[in-house]
Amino acid sequence: MHTSRASLLAHASRLTMACAAAAVLLLAGCAATRTQEGAGGYLDDTVITAKVKSAILGDPALKAAEINVETFKGRVQLSGFVSSRPQMDMAVDVTRKVKGVTSVANDMQLK
């Protein structure tokens, strides 16, 4: 059976549209929402979290503190336990100085 050129072009056009629709759906799955990050945002936050943890561990006054760090869209949440109010304030200050941090939520508690 012989297929006409117009039929082949129509089939190719439908195939192209289907591939484009699939690409849009795949990219939409990686997009960020208000409560969920896209892939790029997740990697950025992972880097920020690592830098904050490194800065806290690198400070001799904070090294022994039990501080947890979580980051979402540049907003860093500090939780856990510290020995004193000055130690708590220092952890917040160290965190604010890390590149990429947009805000700091202090949920730390005194032991």
Structure-token pair, residue 83? 């020995």
Using CA atoms, how far residue 42 sits from 8, 26, 31, 71, in Å, is 43, 17, 11, 9
Condensed to tens digits (0 to 9), the pLDDT of residues 49-100 reads 999 999 999 999 898 789 999 999 999 999 999 999 999 999 999 999 999 9
What strand order describes the sheet that includes 103-110? 66-72, 75-82, 103-110
How far is the C-alpha of 63 from the C-alpha of 9, rounded, in Å? 67
Report, as an integer, the average pLDDT of 16-25: 58
Please state the φ and ψ torsions of residue 99, each to the nearest 5 degrees.
-60, 135
